[in-house]
Structure 1
């Protein structure tokens, strides 16, 4: 599975986060630093597994429990963004 930013989303990276605007629903969201990092990493290649791995290595400090928590938190964030139509799933053959 790959994820990409919906064509209906306008986003802007700022010094303290990312702002998102869904032009079809009118929803506006401001992402904090951590969520913004997830968003930007995902925008690079669309691979959720790569994002989880990078963040686990960056913040998990080799601790398996912390790494698992990071992966679960990233999954929860991405699921929410898909539910809100900010991200779109692409199934690769």
Structure 2
């Protein structure tokens, strides 16, 4: 599965994170530093596993416990963003 930012979302990196505007709902959202990092990695790559691997390299090293926590956090973030219509998931070609 490949992730992509919804066509209805306008976003911008800021000093404090990432600001999102959903043009269909009028909702504004500001992501904290962690959410912003996940968002930017998804915007660049669109692959859940790549994001998890990158964050593990940055923060977890070889620790299985930390890797599992990062995976859970990334999965929860992505699920929330899909539910809110900010991200969409499609079958990779």
Q: Which residue of 1 aligns with 2:38?
A: 38
Moved over 6 A (4+): none
SS at match of 1:77: helix
Q: Residue in 2 aligned with 1:80?
A: 80
TM-score (ref. length: structure 1): 0.96
Equivalent residue pairs, number: 93
SS of equivalent residue, structure 1 residue 29: strand
Distance 1:76 1:56 in 2: 16
Query: What residue in structure 2 maps to residue 24 of structure 1?
Result: 24
Provide TM-score, normalisation by structure 2: 0.96
5+ residue gaps, structure 1, are: none
| Structure 2: tracts of 5 or more residues without a match | none
